[in-house]
Chain A
Amino acid sequence: MGYEILGLPMAYYIAMVLKVLVVFVFVLLTVAYSTYAERKIIGHMQVRLGPMRTGWHGLLQPIADGVKLFFKEEIIPSKADKFAFLIAPLIALVPAFIGFAVIPFGETIEVGGYKIPLQIAAYYDTASGQVVDLNVGVLYILALASIGVYGIVLAGWSSNSKYSLLGGLRSSAQMISYELAAGLAIISVFMLSESLSLQKIVADQANGAWYAFKQPLAFILFFICSIAEINRTPFDLPEAETELVSGFCTEYSSMKYAMFFMAEYANMVTVCAVTTTLFLGGWHGPGFLPGWFWFVAKVYFLIFTCMWIRATYPRYRYDQLMRLGWKVFLPLTLINIVVTGIIVSL
């Protein structure tokens, strides 16, 4: 414990690396098994069984899928822009994962006299006795969500195929319009918490009621907009099979396709984690179980809701999607902000 690097004790760095490893592996496993869960849940909702053959009740299915995709032939279209084509899956995948850096997933734990807050981008400041985290955490998440659009647009453009281009264009238009409404829905949370730090937002909800109860409209709008932003049913127009083959990832194969697939599910996990943090009280729950358990339970419930929605609703038409985003959600979030502002100032 004696060593110090840049004025911080060694344990700080060890704890940081450990937190990154644990969270990354956990998110990766969740991503892998959410593909399995999705197939199982949708299967049962359609009174089918879902995967049953690989392992007990198909439990090895994600591994089998991964191995299969890994050994597939890598095909790059000869007219494609090679550099953009190769980098697009990475741009889609990385922001989906690093969004987790600012999400608090548990209470501060104490290991060997050293306090570790369960949030990657945070440390315990012994001088002030407080947990210090990124003070613009929510902006960071919104920024990463916007970067994710580039991956999809680049993939669509660089493939040099009409289906990919149309898928990419649709996706960018959709993500930009819904990001606006999602951002405005979050503003009403800021108005209550008076902070952009996720630690502060979670602590605020622990003291009072969850923001889902204080801001039910913002909660529902944010969740729906998030589903639209991550291109899931009923807003999965970029990959509408019936009209666009497979959308922006039509020309992709092998591991690069798997990366888009993982990005989609990682985005879903991240969005559910953000919704939990902003509206469902983060890791707070009845004290008999640790904070991380409640966090994971809430996130998994939201993931289940995403799959439930996918099993229930048909896809929106493109003009309906745009109308819903600009003419319904945007005015509703604005009204919500005005009403919140009036109530807060009273």
Chain B
Amino acid sequence: MIMPLINGLKITLKHMFMKPVTLQYPDERPTPSPNFRGLHALKVSHSKAKCVCCYLCPTVCPAKCITVEAGEDQDHNKYAERYEIDMLRCIFCGYCVEACPVDALKMTGEFELANYKREDFVFVKERLLEK
């Protein structure tokens, strides 16, 4: 009857000398794991977005948050004239990344997505392009 109580005290005492797991958030920031699903980014190749505007991502998106409109460039290639993701609707499932046949989309470790205006949550193509 007494030993479990003493063991409990031992455990708490041991934990007191462990390194706290707390991150002092604005000063210390976590490093997200490589497969963390944060803000999307459109991959860039030859200074152009790799997206070929196949519409697979808006099709697979369960939250219906992706809007894509196709355009034609001077080489008669299809490209995404408009590519928008509504971050208020996005559930960060990553299906769009999985669906992409040309590996044009990825998800970054960016997780601080707070904003002041509703319009600011709609990320247009320029904001989504890989930095």
Chain A: residues with CB nearer than 8 A to chain B?
A: 41, 43-49, 52, 308-309, 311-313
Contact = CB atoms under 8 A, between A and B. Distances in A.
B13 A44 contact: no
A308 B20 contact: no
B8 interface: yes
B12 A311 contact: yes
A44 B5 contact: no
Contacts of A43: 20
B20 to A, nearest CB: 5
B77 interface: no
Contacts of A48: 20-22
A148 B9 CA distance: 30
B9 A308 contact: yes
Contact of B16 (A45, A309, A313): A45
Contacts of B17: 44
A308 B13 contact: yes
A47 B5 CA distance: 20
B70 to A, nearest CB: 51
A82 to B, nearest CB: 44
Contacts of A45: 12-13, 15-16
Contacts of A308: 9, 12-13
B24 A44 contact: no
Interface residues of B, number: 15
Chain A binding surface SS class: helix
B114 interface: no
Contacts of A47: 15, 18-21
A312 B8 contact: yes
Nearest to A46: B15
A158 B24 CA distance: 43
B65 to A, nearest CB: 36
B21 A44 contact: no
A49 B9 contact: no
B108 to A, nearest CB: 29
A312 B20 contact: no
B22 A49 contact: yes
B20 A49 contact: yes
Interface string B6-50: 001101110111111110100000000000000000000000000
A41 B16 contact: yes
A188 B65 CA distance: 76
B15 A52 contact: no
9 nearest CB pairs, A to B: A49-B22, A45-B12, A312-B12, A49-B20, A44-B16, A312-B8, A45-B16, A311-B12, A48-B22
Nearest to B9: A312
Contact of A44 (B8, B9, B11, B15): B15
A87 B22 CA distance: 42
Nearest to A53: B24
Given A44-B15, A47-B18, 11 more contacts: A43-B20, A44-B17, A45-B15, A46-B15, A47-B15, A48-B22, A49-B20, A52-B24, A308-B9, A311-B12, A312-B12
A295 B19 CA distance: 31
A309 B13 CA distance: 10
Contacts of A52: 24
A41 B24 CA distance: 18
Interface in B84-129: none
16 contacts: A41-B16, A44-B15, A44-B16, A44-B17, A45-B12, A45-B15, A46-B15, A47-B18, A47-B19, A47-B21, A48-B22, A49-B24, A311-B12, A312-B8, A312-B9, A312-B12
Contacts of A44: 15-17, 20
Contacts of B9: 308-309, 312
Contacts of B18: 47
A313 B20 contact: no
A124 B102 CA distance: 94
B1 to A, nearest CB: 10
